[in-house]
């Protein structure tokens, strides 16, 4: 990796870590350092954009191939989407205490991943790559925001940080807002599956073949549909809904960051 | 599936909105609990398919959950007045129903196959055909000619762009030419031909029997460079089975550098009869008791993946309609109560 890309990447990592640490301490100490948290989050995202942009320019393709690229681009989209939610919905800013540790895990994984160049296959040379990946990032980002609220509900139910989370809305309101983000999630995930099928048709001559990544994505979609219907049908408590949100996120996370790297399916472009 | 209200209704209002269906069976089929059960069944079927990847047909495990979901959707649309009041929700559920029906029709009528076409030759027949029981396409009327191809390789033998020139006659009989590739198919009567990673060399022979007509034919060697160390195949010449081997004394595709697929500058073929081995260069021949075999020269062949599914554009339209209707539904629903106040 070029020295400048790496330097900018590390400054971005520091900005994200600062943002997360200050957000967590803000909750613990019952302070409201929102401008600093949002500022460093935006700074980290902007710097990561520059670093990934330089890499894109150097390699001639976007961050779609290696584990490092996939993690870095998802840290970027997580940062961007959470920054937007943080900015637009002040009442849920305390959820940064749940969301930022998830981003920390990805940052740690990213910094441990090799920054080597991967082969950009011919099947990836299509606008559908950008559409499909873009939609998938919005899907995962919206579920992440819901996870932040679900995490607060579950922490409260476990009796953790009751007073520290008191500035956040009541569980029922968080649950309602989380449901809205999950509803956005299913729209973007459905679009992701459709765009993926269109791409697969012309990349591999079939729109659906039950390859591991397709199957896991569909499993995640079914779980998301189930979670939304469950909430509607069973009128369950916010805690039950929160567990379901976490379940969907875990499956989505495994689909994004596990399956592509253990499967030899065409999704890797190895054809 | 879901039957959400636009705004909270009191119990009495809800009852007036959705009076109980006359039939208990219809009520059961339309219930949201059945939707949940069907989704769980669908999940189990998908996990089963994943667990038995490549071992069994993926269609059968899906029949029960998708049939149940279809019944559930249909019953809900018929019995629940909410759908008549909320157009986006009705459109979404009808689109879902259409998707299930189209997927079922697609599985009954699809075709997947492969074929190999020698450069300068015409597509003859499909191989490794996998088709739905109701497939009745015009697969015998599929004719096209491969005019040659170019393939670029990146260092490490990484295959890059494939460009294949093809010629065919359209349904009006007008000759057409096009360049196709892995992602740009040739579409004839709904059948989509994509180039594949499977391609190689073909030996052209002329068979001059002592009795009968002269025949020109080709023998396709195994895919190259995947099988570059074993470029041999068996072939039936009259009543005898012979083995033909391609010998290339040079490195055609440099694995350490950017390169391209090409014919060798030097080569010969060994034809192994039961009684002798003849090594032939282009233009040379060998006499057999039944006639003369002339090696005309070396050319290439391209392997194609063939796919047919007439439901694809309709499926895409139904999916687009479903997702648009769902977005419309959520938009209306969430607009009733601003996000900041949620």
Q: Residues A121, A269: contact at Cβ < 8 Å?
A: yes
Please tell me whether residues A98 and A144 are part of one structural domain: no
Q: Is the dihedral of CA A31, A32, A38, A40 positive or negative?
A: negative
Q: In the predicted model, is pLDDT for residue B299 greater than 90?
A: yes
Smallest CA-to-CA distance from B221 within B281, B303, B141 is with B303
Q: Please judge whether A180 and B334 are an interchain contact, meaning their C-beta atoms are less than 8 angstroms apart.
A: yes
Name the more confident of B47 and B81: B47
Tell whether A243 and A140 lie within a shared domain: yes
Nearest to A123 among B35, B183, B319 (CB): B183
Cβ count near A114 (within 10 Å): 10
Outline where DSSP puts E strands in A11-113. none
The rounded mean pLDDT for chain B is: 88
Among B residues 38-77, those touching chain A with beta carbons less than 8 Å apart: 39-40, 42-43, 46-47, 49-50, 53, 58
Q: Of A75, A93, A114, which residue constitutes the final position of a domain?
A: A114
Please tell me the total count of domains within chain A. 2
Task: Provide the strand spans (E) within B124-229.
Answer: 127-131, 144-154, 158-169, 175-180, 186-188, 191-209, 215-220
Measured between alpha carbons, how far is A200 from B159 in angstroms, rounded to an integer?
Answer: 18
| Selected residue of A205, A208, A227 to mutate for chain B interface (largest B Cβ count, 10 A) | A205
Q: Distance from B294 to chain A by nearest Cα, in Å?
A: 37
Q: Which two tokens stand for residue A58?
A: 């150097």
C-alpha triplet A47, A52, A58: angle, nearest 5°: 130
- Chain B, residues 189-248, CB within 8 A of chain A, namely 192, 194, 196-197
Instruction: Report the DSSP pairing between strands B277-280 and B175-180.
Output: unpaired
Parallel/antiparallel/unpaired status of strands B259-260 and B240-247:
unpaired
Q: What percent of chain B has pLDDT over 70?
A: 92
Whether residue A139 is found in the same domain as residue A68 = no
Residue of A nearest to B161 (CA): A122
The last residue of one of the domains, among A93, A114, A135, is: A114
Q: How far apart are CA B309 and CA B109, in angstroms?
A: 7
Q: What is the DSSP string of B233-273?
A: EEEEETTEEEEEEEE--S-SS-TTS-EE----SS-EEEEE-
Instruction: Tell me what pLDDT residue B1 has.
Output: 46
Q: Do B49 and A121 touch (CB under 8 A)?
A: no
Pair (A8, A40) in one structural domain: yes
Contact B50 A219 (CB under 8 A): yes
Inform me whether the C-beta atom of residue A24 falls under 8 Å from chain B C-beta atoms.
no
| C-alpha to C-alpha distance for B302 and B148, rounded to whole angstroms | 8
Does one domain contain both A160 and A54?
A: no
Spatial CB neighbours of B335, under 8 Å, sequence gap ≥ 6: none
Distance between B181 CA and the closest CA of chain A, angstroms:
9
Give the model's confidence band at B7: pLDDT under 50 very low, under 70 low, under 90 confident, else very high: very low
Same domain, A131 and A261: yes
CA distance B158 to chain A (A): 8
Q: What angle do CA A228, A231, A233 make, to 5 degrees?
A: 105
Rg (C-alpha) for chain B, rounded Å, is 30
Contact A229 B1 (CB under 8 A): yes
Q: How far apart are CA A91 and CA A169, in angstroms?
A: 7
A180/B342 Cβ within 8 A: yes
Domain extent listing, chain B:
11-109+312-341, 112-308
Q: What is the pLDDT of residues A22-60, one digit of tens each?
A: 999 998 888 889 999 999 999 999 999 999 999 999 999
CB nearest B50 (choices: A122, A215, A228): A215
Task: Mark yes or no for CB contact A233/B312 under 8 Å.
Answer: no
Closest A-chain CA to B197? A271
Q: Domain check: are A143 and A180 in the same one?
A: yes
Query: pTM for the full model?
Result: 0.86
Q: Identify the residue with better confidence: B81 or B220.
A: B220
CA distance B88 to A101: 38
- Cβ–Cβ of A202/B342 closer than 8 Å? no
With residue A101 as reference, give the H or E element that holds it: helix A96-112
Q: Chain B residue closest to A234 (CA)?
A: B33
Q: Which residues of A fall within a CB distance of 8 Å from B38?
A: none
Is some CB atom of chain B closer than 8 A to the CB atom of A176? yes
Q: What is the pLDDT of residue A126?
A: 87
pLDDT one-digit tens code per residue, B209-227:
888 899 999 999 999 999 9
pLDDT of residue A150: 97
Residue A135 belongs to some domain of the structure: yes
Residue range B153-161: mean pLDDT, rounded: 86
- Residue A72 CA to residue A123 CA, distance in Å, equals 22
Residues B84-100: tens digit of each pLDDT? 889 999 999 999 999 99
Q: Indicate whether B19 pLDDT > 60.
A: no
> CB distance A226–B46 less than 8 Å?
no
pLDDT, average across residues B266-289 = 93
Q: What is the dihedral sign for C-alpha A241, B44, B50, B196?
A: negative
Min Cα distance B223 → chain A (Å) is: 14
* DSSP type of residue B122: B
Instruction: Identify the band that residue B11 occupies on the pLDDT scale cut at 50, 70 and 90.
Output: very low
Mutate to test the interface with A, among B183, B255, B306 (most CBs of A within 10 A): B183
Q: Is the pLDDT of residue B174 over 70?
A: yes
- Residue A119: inside a domain, yes or no? no
Last residue of a domain, one of A114, A136, A158: A114
Q: Which domain holds residue A259?
A: 124-271
Question: Is the per-residue pLDDT at B168 higher than 70?
Answer: yes
Report ipTM for this prediction. 0.88
Q: Look at residue A205 in the predicted model and tell me its pLDDT.
A: 83
Q: How far is CA B305 from the centre of its chain?
A: 6
Confidence of residue A271 (pLDDT cuts 50, 70, 90): very low
d(CA B13, CA B6): 13
pLDDT score at B18: 57
Residues A133 and A156 in one domain: yes
């Amino acid at each position: 990796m070029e020295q400048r890309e790496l330097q900018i990447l590390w400054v971005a990592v520091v900005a994200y870590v600062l943002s997360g640490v200050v957000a967590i301490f803000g909750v613990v100490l019952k302070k409201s350092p929102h401008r600093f948290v949002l500022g460093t989050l935006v700074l980290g995202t902007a710097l990561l954009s520059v670093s990934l942009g330089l890499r894109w320019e150097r390699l001639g393709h976007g961050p779609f191939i290696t584990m490092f690229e996939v993690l870095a681009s998802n840290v970027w989209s997580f940062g961007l989407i959470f920054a937007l939610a943080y900015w637009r919905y002040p009442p849920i800013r305390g959820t940064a205490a749940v969301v930022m540790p998830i981003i920390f895990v990805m940052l740690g994984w990213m910094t441990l991943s090799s920054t080597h160049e991967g082969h950009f296959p011919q099947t990836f040379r299509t606008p559908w790559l950008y559409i499909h990946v873009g939609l998938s990032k919005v899907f995962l980002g919206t579920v992440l925001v819901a996870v932040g609220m679900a995490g607060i509900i579950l922490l409260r139910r476990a009796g953790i940080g009751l007073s520290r989370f008191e500035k956040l809305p009541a569980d029922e309101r968080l649950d309602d807002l989380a449901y809205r983000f999950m509803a956005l999630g299913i729209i973007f995930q459905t679009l992701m599956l459709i765009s993926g099928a269109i791409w697969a048709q012309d990349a591999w001559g079939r729109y659906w073949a039950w390859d591991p990544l397709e199957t896991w994505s569909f499993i995640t979609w079914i779980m998301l549909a189930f979670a939304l219907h469950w909430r509607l049908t069973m009128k369950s408590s916010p805690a039950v809904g929160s567990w379901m949100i976490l379940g969907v996120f875990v499956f989505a996370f495994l689909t994004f960051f596990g399956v592509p790297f253990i499967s030899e399916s065409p999704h890797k472009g190895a054809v | 599936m879901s039957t959400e209200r636009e705004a909270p209704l009191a119990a009495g209002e809800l009852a007036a909105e959705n009076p109980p269906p006359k039939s208990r069976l219809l009520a059961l089929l339309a219930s949201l609990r059945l939707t949940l059960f069907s989704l769980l069944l669908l999940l189990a079927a998908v996990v089963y398919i994943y667990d038995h990847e490549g071992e069994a047909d993926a269609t059968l495990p899906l029949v029960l959950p998708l049939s149940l979901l279809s019944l559930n959707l249909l019953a809900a649309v018929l019995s629940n007045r909410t759908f008549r009041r909320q157009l986006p929700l009705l459109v979404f559920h009808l689109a879902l129903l259409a998707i299930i029906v189209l997927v079922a029709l697609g599985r009954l009528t699809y075709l997947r196959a492969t074929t190999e076409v020698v450069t300068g030759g015409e597509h003859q027949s499909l191989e490794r055909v996998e088709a739905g029981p109701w497939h009745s396409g015009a697969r015998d009327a599929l004719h096209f000619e491969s005019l040659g191809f170019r393939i670029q390789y990146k260092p490490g033998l990484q295959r890059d762009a494939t460009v294949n020139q093809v010629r065919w006659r359209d349904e009006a009989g007008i000759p057409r030419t096009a360049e196709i590739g892995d992602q740009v198919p040739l579409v004839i009567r709904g059948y989509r031909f994509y180039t594949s990673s499977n391609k190689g060399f073909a030996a052209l022979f002329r068979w001059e029997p002592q009795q009968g007509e002269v025949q020109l034919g080709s023998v396709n060697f195994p895919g190259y460079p995947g099988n570059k160390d074993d470029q041999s195949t068996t072939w039936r010449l009259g009543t005898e089975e012979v083995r033909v081997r391609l010998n290339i004394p040079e490195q055609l595709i440099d694995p350490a550098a950017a390169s391209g697929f090409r014919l060798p500058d030097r080569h010969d073929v060994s034809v192994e009869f039961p009684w002798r081995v003849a090594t032939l260069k282009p233009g040379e021949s060998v006499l057999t008791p039944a006639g003369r075999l002339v090696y005309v020269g070396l050319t290439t062949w391209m392997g194609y993946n063939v796919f047919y599914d007439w439901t694809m554009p309709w499926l895409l339209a139904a999916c687009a309609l479903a997702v648009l209707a769902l977005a419309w539904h959520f938009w209306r629903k969430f607009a009733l109560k601003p996000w900041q106040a949620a």
